[in-house]
Structure 1
Amino acid sequence: MLRPPPSDLSLAEMHASVRIPHAAGWLRRLGAFVGPGYLIAVGYMDPGNWATALAGGSAFGYTLLSVALASSLMAMLLQALCARVGIATGRDLAQLCRDRFPRPVNLVLWALAEVAICATDLAELIGTAIALNLLFGIPLLVGVVLTALDALLILWLQHRGVRWLEALVAGLMVLVFGCFAAQMVLAQPDWAAVLGGYVPSGSILTNENQLYIAIGILGATVMPHNLYLHTAVVQSRAYGEGVEDRREAIRFATIDSSIALTLALFVNSAILITAAAVFHAGGRTEVAEIQEAYELLAPMVGTAAAATLFAVALLACGLNATVTATLAGQVVMEGFLGLRLSPVIRRLVTRLIAIVPAIIVTWLYGESGTAELLVLSQVVLCLQLPFAVIPLMMFAGDKVRLGAQAAPRWQVVLGWACTVVIVAMNLKLLWGFFMG
């Protein structure tokens, strides 16, 4: 299959920059592919996910753990298809849309993708600002402005190499994992009930409130920008041009993303479990604000460490997610529009597109409206999600473009089934939102 010319490479400064030791053993070759999955996984545990997990755990205990599990399994399949599309074609999802669809359609898709990234960044910037406020007393608006510095951090890390960027993200994920492991020890959940929560319950479909929060968990899990980003970052590996080389790259990239998303599932589950063990068990069934959860954790658990761990994990999640959202903005802008800017200008443009709306709404609403803003960001993502998932599924089974690496029939069938479920659930969430 022909590769794109050097002038049209996705994330050109990263492209094929990580050497694969083809003559080494299986484990070393797999290790060379570990990294992109963690850049993707952070989008599955951003502050928008925190809001829905807190609401679900405090209101219904462990019941909605099954929804978190199902959402993560869907995400694993969709991200595996992203890796396949990116490796097989040498194009990211935005570039493939530009190749296939008329220019007016592409401009609409680009605008929708930018809106989705703004909505994602809104949740992430506000989550980071809340964490800075809780830990250091920094005002919310100042905290949002400070997050603009992540663009400089990405430039420095990318200059050092994509592995440095991946190491930062993976390190922060491990920090979040450790915080919540300690958090759950302090919360002392009912582990038998936790395991039972992963078994689907009929009450989720019959109880309207449970169903609404379940849809919110699903809507906050699969992020549109992750689909664009994953098809690009998997191309940072120099996996070779042969059919067998690409087949092995797809296999290793799928293992990488699946392990990283399993870690993200643990974090999302831990938030819900902590909310269930502390708030639901303590009779506080309406906790949805992140600040309220922070204030209640210490007195209800009995130690200030619980609240501190909560805020540190929130800060790490927010920083991680803003880094990857900025990268996704680059992929979307370059892929749909074919623009080639210098790294500094490109970073500033993609960051400004996302941060300006966040500053405006934070200034207008202040600290009192953070929960509403987080919910609003998830609703906006719901509107955009079909415009990313459907093109992905169109390309995943396209044997003309993917050749021998086209997705097997069972993946295509499951992928379209997930697409139908995600779109239907999100439409219901939107209906509920607009109908009050």
Structure 2
Amino acid sequence: MTDTALIDSTAPTPAPEPRTAVLDDAHVGDIRGALGTIKQGDTAPRNGIPAKLKTLLAIIGPGLIVMVGDNDAGAFATYGQAGQNYGTRLLWTLLLLVPVLYVNQEMVLRLGAVTGVGHARLILERFGKFWGAFSVIDLFLLNALTIVTEFIGVTLAVGYLGLPKTVSVLVAAAVVIAAASTGSFRRFERTAVFLCLGSLLLVPIYFIIHPSAGTMAHDLVVPGMPHGSQLSDVMLLIIAIVGTTVAPWQLFFQQSYVIDKRITPRFMRYEKADLWLGIVIVIVGAAAMMGFAAAAFTGTSGYGNFDDAAGIAHGLEASAGKVAGALFAVALLDASIIGASAVSLSTAYALGDVLGLKHSLHRGVAGAKAFYAIFAGVVLAAAVIVIIPGSPLGLLTEGVQTLAGVLLPSASVFLLLLCNDRTVLGPWVNGRAMNVFTSVVVAVLVTLSVILTAAVLFPGITTTAILDIMAVCGVAGILALGYAELRRRRKGWSLAGPVDRTGKHDWRMPPLDQLPKPVISTGRKVGLSALRTYLFVAMVLVIVRIVQLALGH
């Protein structure tokens, strides 16, 4: 009897692995993190603390990097300004931002792990070419300006340390490009995690300056406004804090980086732990900056007269000696480099996703030339702008904060819509509580965006005008919520039933060509059209205003 006769021809053949929507085959394989490796087929249960810790170490990276990257040069200036001008009276804003940070990043984490497709490409596929192009164009513009601010941070840091600015900026640009261009995802992540540790330099500065822990604890949990200050000035600074802490580039970076690291839904809870680690570090760093800036300048002529981050370093030196100032400058330099790396990568990832380019740090330069060309191009362009004599660097910094605040609502709106698309996320779609909270966040962001746009167009805006804007936006939000609930009841949308979440850890979004065309309701079309009109008008007006200021008008 031959061997073939022993084969049962009626036995079913194993079913092929289902296709997923992953666009670059380098995004599939072993997880090779900075602190460990997980094999692609490893489905063993993690029993016991050692096994769970080993898995967490391998997963750590995306959440940590995106959060620490958020404490970049712009954040140093914003938090430093809050502390120098108003003491610790605005610390409470950080505590309120914690759930916003988590919810936003948790949603893009789910989108990345479940779909395998970047944020910009999902917007393109589900909302059409206009919004896909708009998301990439505004991201590219905003990111390019943000990277300029990172290299401005480099000049401020090395200027305080007595190093040559031009050479230092070029060296910093070379370090950013070289770290991401080795063809090894693990090597980049190890470099990034090492840079993340540099943010911990803010902690010893806090203990050197030793601000009042009791006052900080009170101002952290009890909201209040600085006494004797213009409400309009304080409101604009609060908007800046929100804009620098919840930046649009974070959404695009986190989703694409999770995909590039090959994280799947099976490891979702470990990635959420990684995200919480990053949030804790960013909030501790922000609070420390506000605290030691307040302590260093209170009672001095510099109190209420913020200039730039270098001024914070000099204030720390005057208060506690050269070591405190030098540590702050080194931390600023470190933050600027990691910020430039993350923001540049978010740009290259988004364009690679939309244009169908190979876009993975697992590939070397030869295997993804266009991806690395985009990445290096935006880094070098930003560095050159900074070292050109006469560049309006201060104006560019203000322009970044303004555009980020104006454009943030659009990113949050599409994030919310995508996370309610059952075709995209299946059993991973948002629950009702998540939707309610995120809708409130979006409403607040839209209100802050309108206030910021009005403040740019009318620099002398009064407190009364700001309160009027808040009231109008509040009424509009209530009316919109009522309209949406009325439509839900009339259409019987509750009949869709609860989400079946069984087997969700093995569920992945099907390939893009297999997704049914999304059905967009009339109400949603009207809402998106209104958003499109507002964003276009606001962005054009803000850019015109910035150009006018640059020309001296």
Same fold (TM over 0.5): yes
Letter in 1 for 2:135: L
RMSD: 2.4
Letter in 2 for 1:287: F
2:186 matched to 1:168?
Answer: no
TM-score, normalised on structure 1?
A: 0.89
2:452 matched to 1:433?
Answer: no
What is the distance in 1 between the residues matched to 2:170 and 2:458? 34
In structure 2, the residue matched to 1:418 is: 441
Q: Deviations over 1:21-53 (max 9, x none)?
A: 542433333332211112211332011111111
Q: Structure 1 residues 34, 222: CA separation in 2 closer, same or farther (over 3 Å shift)? A: same
Which ranges of structure 2 fall in alignment gaps of 5 or more residues? 1-16, 32-37, 360-366, 460-553
* Paired residues of 1:67 and 1:200 also in contact (CA < 8 A): no
What is the distance in 1 between the residues matched to 2:376 and 2:405? 22
* Paired residues of 2:84 and 2:294 also in contact (CA < 8 A): yes
In structure 1, the residue matched to 2:368 is: 343
What is the distance in 1 between the residues matched to 2:71 and 2:19? 34
Secondary structure of the structure 1 residue equivalent to 2:344? helix
* Paired residues of 2:248 and 2:404 also in contact (CA < 8 A): yes
Letter in 1 for 2:335: C
What is the distance in 2 between the residues matched to 1:351 and 1:200? 45
Q: 2:212 aligns with which of 190, 195, 204?
A: 190
Q: Deviations over 1:44-66 (max 9, x none)?
A: 20111111111111111111111
Q: 2:115 aligns with which of 89, 95, 100?
A: 89
What is the distance in 1 between the residues matched to 2:368 and 2:319? 48
Q: Structure 1 residues 68, 16: CA separation in 2 closer, same or farther (over 3 Å shift)? A: farther
Report the CA distance between 1:370 and its aligned residue: 4.3
2:381 matched to 1:353?
Answer: no
Report the CA distance between 1:364 and its aligned residue: 5.1
Letter in 2 for 1:292: G
Q: Structure 1 residues 79, 314: CA separation in 2 closer, same or farther (over 3 Å shift)? A: same
In structure 1, the residue matched to 2:272 is: 254
* Paired residues of 1:62 and 1:276 also in contact (CA < 8 A): yes
In structure 2, the residue matched to 1:243 is: none
* Paired residues of 1:294 and 1:307 also in contact (CA < 8 A): yes
What is the distance in 2 between the residues matched to 1:279 and 1:148? 33
Secondary structure of the structure 1 residue equivalent to 2:388? helix
What is the distance in 2 between the residues matched to 1:147 and 1:314? 13
The structure with the greater share of residues assigned to helix is 1
User: After the TM superposition, which residues 271-282 of structure 1 pair with which residues of structure 2 at under 5 Å, given as runs?
Assistant: 271-282=289-300
Q: 1:211 aligns with which of 212, 228, 235?
A: 235
Letter in 1 for 2:318: P
Report the CA distance between 1:281 and its aligned residue: 4.3
Report the CA distance between 1:5 and its aligned residue: 5.5
Q: Which range is displaced more, 308-317 or 384-393?
A: 384-393
* Paired residues of 2:240 and 2:405 also in contact (CA < 8 A): no
* Paired residues of 2:88 and 2:291 also in contact (CA < 8 A): yes
Q: 1:26 aligns with which of 27, 52, 56?
A: 52
Report the CA distance between 1:404 and its aligned residue: 0.8
Report the CA distance between 1:374 and its aligned residue: 2.1
What is the distance in 2 between the residues matched to 1:362 and 1:415? 41
In structure 2, the residue matched to 1:71 is: 97
Q: 2:159 aligns with which of 133, 137, 141?
A: 133
Q: Which range is displaced more, 24-33 or 198-207?
A: 198-207
What is the distance in 1 between the residues matched to 2:68 and 2:445? 20
Q: 2:83 aligns with which of 40, 51, 57?
A: 57
Q: 1:297 aligns with which of 316, 336, 359?
A: 316
What is the distance in 2 between the residues matched to 1:316 and 1:358? 16
What is the distance in 2 between the residues matched to 1:239 and 1:386? 27
2:203 matched to 1:148?
Answer: no
Letter in 1 for 2:414: P
What is the distance in 1 between the residues matched to 2:396 and 2:261? 37
Q: Deviations over 1:243-287 (max 9, x none)?
A: xxx2x4222212211211210111111111111111134352212
What is the distance in 1 between the residues matched to 2:195 and 2:310? 21
What is the distance in 2 between the residues matched to 1:417 and 1:61? 29
Q: Which range is displaced more, 59-68 or 410-419?
A: 410-419
Secondary structure of the structure 2 residue equivalent to 1:198? helix
What is the distance in 1 between the residues matched to 2:150 and 2:28? 27
Q: Structure 1 residues 372, 275: CA separation in 2 closer, same or farther (over 3 Å shift)? A: farther
* Paired residues of 1:289 and 1:371 also in contact (CA < 8 A): no
2:343 matched to 1:325?
Answer: yes
In structure 1, the residue matched to 2:352 is: 334
Q: Which range is displaced more, 346-355 or 64-73?
A: 346-355
What is the distance in 1 between the residues matched to 2:158 and 2:368? 28
Q: Structure 1 residues 362, 380: CA separation in 2 closer, same or farther (over 3 Å shift)? A: farther
What is the distance in 2 between the residues matched to 1:63 and 1:202? 6
Secondary structure of the structure 1 residue equivalent to 2:357? coil
2:405 matched to 1:382?
Answer: yes
* Paired residues of 2:82 and 2:290 also in contact (CA < 8 A): yes
Letter in 2 for 1:171: F
Report the CA distance between 1:292 and its aligned residue: 1.7
Q: Structure 1 residues 357, 33: CA separation in 2 closer, same or farther (over 3 Å shift)? A: closer
Secondary structure of the structure 2 residue equivalent to 1:285? coil
Letter in 1 for 2:293: A
* Paired residues of 2:72 and 2:335 also in contact (CA < 8 A): yes
* Higher Cα radius of gyration: 2
What is the distance in 1 between the residues matched to 2:21 and 2:417? 24
Report the CA distance between 1:14 and its aligned residue: 5.0
Letter in 2 for 1:113: L
Q: 1:263 aligns with which of 266, 270, 281?
A: 281
In structure 2, the residue matched to 1:180 is: 202
Q: 1:288 aligns with which of 292, 307, 313?
A: 307
What is the distance in 2 between the residues matched to 1:417 and 1:249? 29
What is the distance in 2 between the residues matched to 1:329 and 1:271? 28
In structure 1, the residue matched to 2:251 is: 227
Q: Structure 1 residues 100, 264: CA separation in 2 closer, same or farther (over 3 Å shift)? A: same
Report the CA distance between 1:223 and its aligned residue: 1.3
Q: Structure 1 residues 434, 319: CA separation in 2 closer, same or farther (over 3 Å shift)? A: same
What is the distance in 1 between the residues matched to 2:43 and 2:254? 23
What is the distance in 2 between the residues matched to 1:257 and 1:376? 29
Secondary structure of the structure 1 residue equivalent to 2:254? helix
Report the CA distance between 1:217 and its aligned residue: 0.6
What is the distance in 2 between the residues matched to 1:198 and 1:272? 11
Q: Which range is displaced more, 257-266 or 415-424?
A: 415-424
Report the CA distance between 1:13 and its aligned residue: 4.0
What is the distance in 1 between the residues matched to 2:29 and 2:389? 44
Q: For this pair of structures, how many residues does the alignment match?
A: 419
User: After the TM superposition, which residues 112-131 of structure 1 pair with which residues of structure 2 at under 5 Å, given as runs?
Assistant: 112-131=138-157
What is the distance in 2 between the residues matched to 1:373 and 1:49? 15
